[in-house]
Structure 1
Amino acid sequence: MSPAKQVVVLGGGFGGLHLVRRLERHLRPDEAAVTLVDRQNYHLFTPLLYQGCTGELPPHAVAYPLRDATAPAGYQFLQSEVTAVDLDHRRVGTADGEVPYDHLVIALGSVTNDFGIAGVRENALPVKWLSDAETLRRHVLDIFESAAIETDIARRREALTFIIVGAGPVGVELASSLRDLMDHTLRKIYPSIDFYTDIAIHLIEGTDHVLPAMDPRLSAIAMKRLEQQRVRVLLKTLVSEIRPGIVLTKDGAQLRARTIVWSGGVKVNPLVASVDLPKSKDG
């Protein structure tokens, strides 16, 4: 009997996890040995990550243990960083050694795209991973604690200004969820803060409407809701640089805030881009 084929799946995101579950249904145990490799030991349900940022959902509600998918199927799981793909020798390099394969599926997903804008990585909070949500949630609460005892009105209002760059699904949902958190929860426990005059949420978008990749009708609904929630939406506004506490735009404006969040989009994983394989237009 020929040995079972080694199937290696890189990435436990939506694509990788879905494939592992389908393989369990369609492969006999003696047909293939399947290994799932991911830098995290959980699948992150990114559509609800914004609710983790505001504390509406606990971390375990948006993180599904990948071993819960691999162990029942008799598959292997390796938590490690993928460092290289050797197509000629059919090996995957990881931080914990090489993994041979007969069949390879690359589903490593995307990474945050800063579009080469200076200061994004250093001075803006990302919203991509579970740790980002936890960091942002703690940051928001720390901001309110310090603002609650700030007696200078100008300094308090600057501290309570929140800028979100990028009005795609993440940016729109985060802006709306932050306002809900403030109006319905934080307002009750911070009586020294005027939640109508002290707080400002700015949502910056480079195109002429929010949710630019979606149906225009959804964009209109989202825009109306943001207006109702007192979120200031700045359309056709391109960011040129982000400094500590300052967002500079290409039209010369300088927006100050203690909290700057980057949700400006994603790009293909650099490792995927480096692999010599046919790719679609977007990588």
Structure 2
Amino acid sequence: MSPAKQIVVLGGGFTGLHLVRRLEGRLHRGEASVTLIDRQNYHLFTPLLYQVCTGELPPHAVAYPLRDATAPAGFQFLQSEVTAIDLERRRVGTADGEVPYDHLVIALGSVTNDYGIPGVRENALPVKWLSDAEALKRHVLDIFESAAIETDIARRHEQLTFIIVGAGPVGVELASSLRDLMDHTLRRIYPSIDFYSDVTIHLLDGADRVIPAMDRRLSRIAMKRLEQQRV
């Protein structure tokens, strides 16, 4: 009997996790050995990451343990950083050693594209990883703490001007959620701040409408809601 094939999946994002679940339903026990490798031990549900930014959801609500997908199927999970891929020797190098494979799936995801715009990396806060969302939440609260004791009106307006670059689904949802946070929570605990005149949220995009990848009717609905929220 020939040895079981070694299938290695790099990345526990949407593609990697979906593939592992499909393999569970397609493979017979012992037919192949499947190993999922990711530097995190959880799958991040990025569509709801903006709600972690504004405190609507706790971090664990968007972090699904990857072992919940691999263990019941009899698959292996390795939390490690991928450092190299040797195509000739059919080995994946990780921070914890080499992993052999017969079939390799590379689903390592993407990185934030700043389009080469000067100053973005130095001054902007990305919303890509769970740590980004937690950092943004802390940053917003720190700003309000500082603004609450600022006596210079012009300086306070400057502190409380929020600019979100990118009017796609995440940008629109973040802008709306941020305004909800201010109107329903922060207004009560920062009485010295006028949330109508002191706070401004700007949503910027190179397109002529919000969520430009979607139908124009949906863009109009989203824009109407944002205008109602003073975005």
Q: Count residues in correspondence.
A: 231
1:56 paired with 2:56, answer yes
Corresponding residue number in structure 2 for 1:204 = 204
TM-score by length of 1: 0.79
- The equivalences for 1:191-270 within 5 A come to 191-231=191-231
Q: Which has the higher strand share?
A: 1
Corresponding residue number in structure 2 for 1:31 = 31
TM-score by length of 2: 0.97
Cα separation, 1, equivalents of 2:19 and 2:182: 40
1:173-220 per-position Cα deviation (integer Å, ceiling 9, x unaligned): 101100010011111111000000000001110111111111211111
1:145 alignment partner AA: E
1:95 paired with 2:95, answer yes
Corresponding residue number in structure 1 for 2:120 = 120
- The equivalences for 1:5-84 within 5 A come to 5-84=5-84
Structure 1 residues not aligned, in runs of 5+: 232-283
Cα separation, 2, equivalents of 1:74 and 1:217: 47
Displaced runs of 4+ in structure 1, greater than 3 A?
A: none
Corresponding residue number in structure 2 for 1:104 = 104
Corresponding residue SS for 1:172: helix
1:90-143 per-position Cα deviation (integer Å, ceiling 9, x unaligned): 222222222111011111111100111222112110000000000000111111
Cα separation, 1, equivalents of 2:219 and 2:93: 43
1:230 alignment partner AA: R
Corresponding residue SS for 1:167: coil
Cα separation, 2, equivalents of 1:83 and 1:104: 15
Cα separation, 2, equivalents of 1:80 and 1:119: 32
Corresponding residue number in structure 1 for 2:142 = 142
Corresponding residue number in structure 2 for 1:184 = 184
Corresponding residue SS for 1:163: strand
2:167 alignment partner AA: A
Shift in Å, 1:146: 1.0
Cα separation, 2, equivalents of 1:162 and 1:140: 9
Point out the more displaced range, 21-30 or 123-132. 21-30
Point out the more displaced range, 89-98 or 62-71. 89-98
Q: Which has the higher helix share?
A: 2
Over the matched positions of the two proteins, sequence identity in percent amounts to 87
Corresponding residue SS for 2:188: helix
